[in-house]
Structure 1
């Protein structure tokens, strides 16, 4: 059963591994262009500044087109070949910003940050949004604890159902209709001695080796709680095996042969004496000052 639990936990953990969502071609194109202009012209430059738009982000698509035509008069490769790469970037930046959907994507990453590029990691990736190790560990730990709790509840419910099914089968052999006592012998295979069962007034008992009868019921089976799953048991186990062992100090054992007698105050001693002295009479004074009068039994 324990092996089954760990197999289920392992399968659930594998299912928790997040899938890496690939960027769209439009996003990759935007990332590449932004990376190029940052390396060439500076990290603070964006496409609006590259196109030298007077209104920058407030510029409309029509204004961006007009501005590109104005720049083409200066940076077109037919007029100067050294501006070929720059013209390509200006043209691509214009296409991105005049397209409404691509412009929204660019503005989003411009506000929240662009991913970095690493060939070994498969292309563009984010660093600022990556959760820390303790965050991932906490999420995995909580998920494992929740899964373990579900497994415990399922096993407990299965055990209850199995016992209740067994009780129903035994009660079908009771020909007293729950009004008397019926003794049965339970054998799982012909070779074993078997166990004696007693159906008494609708309740099923198993006869112990000493002759006593133990009730078979699901009422005493408690449902597992959060304290029974890994969320609590694992930290307690770690604590007991590490810090808890050092913190808990054994109590000093005193000499068994020597016992200290309790010391009584003088007032308590006087009260005790008065109570002893009054025992011979029909009145007795208690230590708290009250007097109890005994009644003689009538003969």
Structure 2
């Protein structure tokens, strides 16, 4: 699971964002908590405002209803109703605003959070409504973005390699029919790397004398399987149920190499083993046996 701390932190940040309440949500929760504590758990803004049509009331009817209540509960007429009138006024402001009313109706249908001063305010004892939808949407957007970025990076790297190969070929005076040795330096202090242009192919001379082909085809192509969308679930599977269901890499290699035992060619006291093909990796087991991975 190494290398997944970045997406984990990113997801954690988005979860914190999802669970953060807006200012209007906090005002709604506070007022709802006050009236439900004072008048009972069944109390809501519509009943509190004594709206005849309750949730069927429109904005004009809600505003008009406050004027009616003001005749009795306005603090200028009766100071003891000051706190009550403030609550009536706030409830009216929330319900007369279409966007705020949608927020209130949503929580009225799905449930309001609990309040605990020691826990820092309002909190849900269950997953916050819409959380799974929001997280799923964010997760999809992140992976789409990651895939698009990988495509851009792949094309950029491929373009740089192709340009570098073209520059090397331009210095090849054999016209691709022979061998030309070059030295590549990034700056004057750089020791440089020895290059070989052989029949229009460019190679890097390694310290051990081997040659490595420089080609844009060696780049890993972008794939959905290389995104977190695939890699994280696959890693979780491999370290949990996958350990018992699927063969390990070493077990698969051992199975593939059983046939090598019958392919050894004996000459005198020596045994010639099958050499590694292109793309295979040589592995030596603790018992001294040498095997080769699949392509």
Q: Structure 2-normalised TM-score?
A: 0.53
Cα distance in 2 for partners of 1:221, 1:181 equals: 26
Counterpart secondary structure, 2:23: coil
- Per-residue CA deviation, residues 73-114 of structure 1 (Å, 9 max, x unaligned), is 9xx758xxxxx3xx3354235434665875654675156325
TM-aligned CA distance change 1:7 to 1:154, over 3 Å: farther
- Per-residue CA deviation, residues 140-168 of structure 1 (Å, 9 max, x unaligned), is 76566556545654554454234223312
Equivalent in the alignment of 1:223: 221
Equivalent in the alignment of 2:158: 160
Equivalent in the alignment of 1:23: 23
CA contact (8 A) 1:64 1:98 kept: yes
Provide the aligned length of Structure 1 versus Structure 2.
238
Cα distance in 2 for partners of 1:72, 1:228 equals: 65
Counterpart secondary structure, 2:17: coil
Alignment of 1:23-62 (within 5 A): 23-24=23-24, 28=27, 31-50=29-48, 52=50, 56=54, 58=57, 59=61, 61-62=63-64
Alpha-carbon distance, 1:197 to partner: 1.4
Cα distance in 2 for partners of 1:179, 1:54 equals: 91
Which deviates more, 91-100 or 205-214? 205-214
- Per-residue CA deviation, residues 150-198 of structure 1 (Å, 9 max, x unaligned), is 565455445423422331221221234x364342143669998964613
Higher alpha-carbon Rg? 1
Cα distance in 2 for partners of 1:208, 1:61 equals: 82
Counterpart secondary structure, 1:117: strand
Cα distance in 2 for partners of 1:60, 1:190 equals: 79
Cα distance in 2 for partners of 1:94, 1:137 equals: 36
Counterpart secondary structure, 1:223: coil
Alpha-carbon distance, 1:41 to partner: 2.1
Cα distance in 2 for partners of 1:111, 1:234 equals: 33
Counterpart secondary structure, 1:183: strand
- Per-residue CA deviation, residues 205-263 of structure 1 (Å, 9 max, x unaligned), is 56899999876432454513112334334444444444334334777x9xx99xxxxxx
Equivalent in the alignment of 1:112: 107
Which deviates more, 115-124 or 126-135? 126-135
Gaps of 5+ in 2: 263-295
TM-aligned CA distance change 1:115 to 1:62, over 3 Å: same
Equivalent in the alignment of 1:65: 67
Counterpart secondary structure, 2:115: strand
* Alignment RMSD (CA, Å): 5.2
TM-aligned CA distance change 1:49 to 1:242, over 3 Å: closer
Equivalent in the alignment of 2:86: 92
Counterpart secondary structure, 1:163: helix
Which deviates more, 130-139 or 214-223? 130-139
Gaps of 5+ in 1: 79-83, 258-299
